[in-house]
Every structure is written in structure tokens, then in C-alpha cells.
């Protein structure tokens, strides 16, 4: 069975590091991977950043393995680090 459509390299990495997907990941990944605009609202530490970022990494891995990843900036990901820092203290 496919792990949310992710490449096996991504699935292996995820399973080595986490017990399983969080609720935001379970609900968000199918929408993100269908190309839908997705808003995820969940508490700090619930996996929101990885929910978005893992999909991007998966697409880059697939493009690279297909020989379709140009030597240029493909992704710009902006994360609210200051807000996250404030939430963690």
C-alpha cells in the first residue's frame, strides 16, 4: 500500500524517525498531494511544518530521480520561526 503517494525513499525516512503520521499529516497530505490549496490549523508541535515540507521534498526527490530537476531554485518555503519560537517558550 502506498504511503500517501510518497516515494519509497521518503516513506523509509519518515518511518525511521516517527511512529506514524499526526492527525494534521493524515488529513493534510491527501489534499496537498492532490494539488489542493490547504490550510492546516493545529497546535504547535503537531507536525504542520512537516506536513507541508514533506510533500515538497517528495516532489523534488521524484523529479531528481526522473532526471527532471534543474540546477536552480525550485522551492522557497517561508516558515514563521519567530512565532514558533514564541510558542515554545
**pLDDT the model gives residue 77:** 77
Number of domains in the chain: 1
Residue of higher predicted confidence among 57 and 85? 57
Q: Are the C-beta atoms of residues 65 and 45 closer than 8 Å to each other?
A: no
Q: How confident is the model at residue 39 (pLDDT cuts 50, 70, 90)?
A: very high
Confidence check: pLDDT of 79 > 90: no
Q: Are the C-beta atoms of residues 77 and 52 closer than 8 Å to each other?
A: yes
Evaluate whether residue 1 is within a structural domain: no
Evaluate whether residue 37 is within a structural domain: yes
**pLDDT the model gives residue 2:** 76
Evaluate whether residue 3 is within a structural domain: no
The model's pLDDT over 3-19, given as tens digits with 9 standing for 90+, comes to 899 999 999 999 999 99
Confidence check: pLDDT of 1 > 60: no
Spell out a b/e string for 48-86, using b for 16 or more CB atoms within 10 Å of the CB, else e.
Answer: bbbbbebbebbbebbeeeeeeeeeeeeeeeeeeeeeeee
Q: How confident is the model at residue 49 (pLDDT cuts 50, 70, 90)?
A: confident
Q: Which domain holds residue 39?
A: 8-88
Evaluate whether residue 75 is within a structural domain: yes
Evaluate whether residue 2 is within a structural domain: no
Amino acid at each position: 500500500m502506498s504511503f500517501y503517494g510518497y516515494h519509497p525513499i521518503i516513506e523509509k525516512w519518515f518511518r525511521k524517525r516517527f511512529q506514524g503520521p499526526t492527525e494534521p499529516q493524515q488529513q493534510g497530505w491527501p489534499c496537498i498531494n492532490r494539488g489542493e490549496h490547504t490550510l492546516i490549523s493545529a497546535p504547535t508541535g503537531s507536525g504542520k511544518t512537516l506536513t507541508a515540507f514533506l510533500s515538497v521534498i517528495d516532489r523534488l526527490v521524484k523529479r531528481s530521480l526522473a532526471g527532471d530537476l534543474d540546477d536552480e531554485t525550485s522551492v522557497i518555503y517561508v516558515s514563521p520561526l519567530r512565532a514558533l519560537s514564541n510558542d515554545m517558550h
